[in-house]
Amino acid sequence: MSAKSLEIELKFTVSGPTVTRLRAKKIAAFKQVSRAVTQNLRSVYFDTPDLALKNAGISFRVRHVGRAWIQTVKIGTGLTGGLSKPQEIEITVSGPNPDIQSIYDPEVRDLIANLIGEASISPVFETTFKRLTRLFESDDGDEIEVAFDQGKIIAGGAERDLSEIELELKKGRLNALYTLAHSIFSEEPWRFSSMSKAAQGYRLALQDNTSEYRPQKARKSGLADEDTAEDALEKILRSCLKQIMRNAYATFDEDRPEGPHQLRVGLRRLRSALKLFGSMLEPEFAAKLAVQAREIAAVVGDLRDLDVLIDEIIQPCEAVAPSSIDLQSLIAELQKRRETEQARTREVLSSTMFRHFLLSLGQLTETQGWRSSSVPSQKKSLARPARKLAKKALLKSWRRTEQHAALLEQLSIEERHVMRKDLKKLRYAIEFFLPLYDKKQAKPFLKKLKLLQDMFGYLNDVAIAEKIPGLIGPRSARRGLKERAAGFVLGWHQSQADNSWTQASELWHGVAEENKFWMVKHNN
**Pick from 500, 114, 305: nearest CA to 314:** 305
Per-residue pLDDT at 413:
82
Q: What residues form DSSP beta bridges with 123?
A: 46
Find the angle CA(112)-CA(118)-CA(122) to the nearest 5 degrees. Answer: 70
- Helix H segments across 79-120? 106-116
The residues, ordered by sequence, that sit 6+ positions from 238 with a Cβ below 8 Å of its Cβ are 80, 81, 365, 366
Identify whether the C-beta of residue 260 lies closer than 8 Å to the C-beta of residue 307: yes
Q: Residue 290: in which H helix or E strand, if any?
A: helix 283-308
Identify whether the C-beta of residue 354 lies closer than 8 Å to the C-beta of residue 348: yes
Question: Exposure string (b/e) for 305-339, b if CB count within 10 Å is 16 or more?
Answer: bbbbbbebbbeebeeebeeebbbebbbebbeebbe
Tell me whether residue 493 is exposed, middle or buried, using C-beta atoms within 10 angstroms of its C-beta: 0 to 12, 13 to 18, 19 or more: buried
Identify whether the C-beta of residue 193 lies closer than 8 Å to the C-beta of residue 82: yes
Identify whether the C-beta of residue 273 lies closer than 8 Å to the C-beta of residue 236: yes
Q: What is the distance in angstroms between the CA of the first residue and the CA of the last residue of the chain?
A: 49
pTM: 0.93
What parts of the chain have a pLDDT lower than 70?
1-5, 372-376, 522-524
Find the angle CA(278)-CA(279)-CA(285) to the nearest 5 degrees. Answer: 55
Q: Which tens digits make up the pLDDT trace of 231-252?
A: 999 999 999 999 999 999 999 9
- Judged by DSSP in three states, 204 sits in helix
**Pick from 298, 491, 501: nearest CA to 416:** 501
Hey, how many other C-beta atoms are within 10 angstroms of the C-beta on 152? 14
Per-residue pLDDT at 283:
83
**Pick from 279, 277, 511: nearest CA to 402:** 511
Find the angle CA(19)-CA(21)-CA(26) to the nearest 5 degrees. Answer: 110
Q: Which tens digits make up the pLDDT trace of 186-213?
A: 889 999 999 999 999 999 999 998 888 8
